Chain A
Amino acid sequence: MSLLPLVAALFVTAVLFALFVASQGYPAFDALALVGKGAFGSAFAWQNTLSRAAPIMLTALCVALPARAGLLIIGGEGALALGGLAAAMVPVVLAGWSVLLVQGLMAMAGFVVGGGWIALSGWLRYKRGVNETISSLLLAYIGAAVFNFLVEGILRDPASLNKPSTAPIGDRYAIGAIPGMDVHWGLVWGFLVCIGAWWLMRHTVFGFATGVVGGNPRAAQMVGLPVGRLMLMACFLGGGAAGLAGMLEVAAVHGDANADLMAGYGYAGILVSFAARHHPLGVIAGALLVGGIGASGSLLQRHLDLPDAATLVLQGMLFVSLLAFETLNRKGVQRV
């Protein structure tokens, strides 16, 4: 019954949120109803939810994949920002090249830069024993500083006056909407990458070996597994997914790299991965849930005048309850 803790946590979160909202003088039941309506209540709500879920799925993999190797990485936001920035540079340099090639290179640039950024944490952990949770979050702050330095400095498009941005990638290279709905193709990319990650972890030697490293690093060393390389690879793939999220946000939403890229998807991904117990397919469902919470924010603000941080409070409550109900899980101690 591994779903029991999840259901209990969702229920407790709803009760806690209702009590909190009521204590602040807002109508509790209306707020809960609006969360549901804003997330999944209409075609428009679904489109909003799905658009948010696409990057969150990928940033959740930035937690879920290293977690398989026993590492707790929480710095996906930095990989997303730098990956997005790298991707935004590709069409500027290769203007005029074929669309498919440029988009492919954008994805690759985002993946490699994001992956390299998170691999740094894995390397520090393996080589120097530095705690990867702290180092990855520090790297997220450093990544944001580097991002701002470049976007407001040498990479700034002189035409961007009020909001410093890189040069626009242009409509030609932008990722469009899926026919028939107002959701961009990034959603499909997210699905495919999650399924690919699941296959990699479940059905390949690499996935199995990584699981052994996560379960017992000493045993892994003893049977001759390349522990360091597996840790680094898990971090690289996870960071690559987050970098890909940045690329999709640039190519499908913003059209250039600017500070709006750092919208908190990296942090939402942490919650999603924990809710999914670091399962790559569970991440899809978790991303829909957390994307839905985010999507309901504007409705709460408009109808009840709740501060926009209401969705952050709701996410925080959900995260805390999820972990608290881990205690009901009989499967034994989860190390990360």
Chain B
Amino acid sequence: MSDASGGIAVGSLLLALLGGAMRVSTPFLFVSLGECITEKSGRINLGLEGTLVFGAMSGYGVAYLTGSPWLGILAAGGSGLLLGVMHGLLCSLPRVNDIAVGIAMMLFGTGLAFFLGKPLIQPVAPTLPSLILGGWSSNTQIQEALRINVLLPIGIALAFALRWAFVHTRWGLALRLVGDNAAAARALGYPVVPVRIVATAVGGFLAGIGGAFLSLYYPGSWNEGLSSGQGLMAVALVIFARWDPVRCALAALLFGAAGALGPALQSQGITSGYYLFNAAPYVLTLILMSMSWSSGRSLAGAPGELSLVNR
């Protein structure tokens, strides 16, 4: 094999990774932004994995019935909101642990989605449109890599908006205060528990949209193996991103690229370690978590009330 052909293979591998990052990162992005809002309020919702799956199912079902993928997105967000409210209310009961409720909601949301989604495995729902940004190039691979879904720019804009809102709006301030020091927030007259319930509900809304992306764009169908831990990885991603929405967006792109590693190598003809390459995002998450966490020290930027950090 000559050097030139090797170079081309690396180049197209990188392009495939870039395309994969653009394509696969959207669910990570939406779930992590949602979880970021929830964790800023001082609670953690591990159930977003279930919300993601349920959002994928309900979004697909509504898009199929109405013929509009946008109504599907709305339905996915709405059902995510309901699951978020459920988590928020349950955790507001005294002596109820938010991490445990998250695990229960993960199993509950997934089971419910599988039950209600049985009739949706066959039908074909309309998918979300994509934006063609690579029209200037004659290289089909570049065109393919730059064919992005409409939710990605929306999500990135949302990340910047959230970063601004956390600092510059009354809502953002109240949210951060409740998450950092509930006693102080109470003393200043902020309703701690309602703020947390709203934060969990909004987080669920965004996670539901992330799920709808899976069923309405990529892979673009509903089946029971649709999500494999994306919702959970997004929760870990928020910690790695130090509760900053813009860094969440960057981390989501990184995770997308890691998730695209398996398929990209496969398209290059490397198929032997397919399962191992598919595990790349999980391994990456573990490595990043052990780098950003460190025993004995508190996490910089962590909301003070977060049970994940204080335990």
- B201 CB, min distance to chain A CBs, angstroms: 17
- A34 CB, min distance to chain B CBs, angstroms: 16
**Contact flag A129-B275 (CB < 8 Å), given A307-B115, A312-B107:** no
Q: Which of B104, B290, B294 contacts A316 (CB 8 A)?
A: B104
Asked whether any CB of chain B lies closer than 8 Å to the CB of A72, the reply is yes
> What's the Cα separation between A274 and B99 when bound, in Å?
12
Asked whether any CB of chain B lies closer than 8 Å to the CB of A271, the reply is yes
Asked whether any CB of chain B lies closer than 8 Å to the CB of A309, the reply is yes
> What's the Cα separation between A134 and B108 when bound, in Å?
18
> What's the Cα separation between A126 and B273 when bound, in Å?
31
Q: Are A323 and B100 in contact (CB under 8 A)?
A: yes
Name the segment of A54-62, A92-100, A141-149, A249-257 touching the other chain: A141-149
Q: Are B282 and A142 in contact (CB under 8 A)?
A: yes
Main secondary structure of the interface of B (DSSP, over half): helix
Q: Are B99 and A138 in contact (CB under 8 A)?
A: no
- A262 CB, min distance to chain B CBs, angstroms: 12
> What's the Cα separation between A336 and B296 when bound, in Å?
20
Q: Are A138 and B290 in contact (CB under 8 A)?
A: no
Residues of chain A within 8 A of B283, CB atoms compared: 142
| Cβ < 8 Å to B, chain A residues 263-311 | 267, 270-271, 274, 307, 309-310
Asked whether any CB of chain B lies closer than 8 Å to the CB of A182, the reply is no
Main secondary structure of the interface of A (DSSP, over half): helix
Q: Are B276 and A137 in contact (CB under 8 A)?
A: no
> What's the Cα separation between A270 and B46 when bound, in Å?
14
Asked whether any CB of chain A lies closer than 8 Å to the CB of B114, the reply is yes
Residues of chain A within 8 A of B101, CB atoms compared: 320, 323
Residues of chain A within 8 A of B109, CB atoms compared: 316
Q: Which residues of B contact A (CB under 8 A)?
A: 46, 86, 90, 93-97, 99-101, 103-105, 107-112, 114-116, 118, 228-229, 232-233, 235-236, 239, 272-276, 278-279, 282-283, 285-286, 289-290, 293-297, 308, 311
Q: Which residues of A contact B (CB under 8 A)?
A: 24, 70, 72, 74, 124, 126-131, 133-135, 137-139, 141-142, 145-146, 148-149, 152-153, 267, 270-271, 274, 307, 309-310, 312-317, 319-320, 322-324, 326-327, 329, 332-336
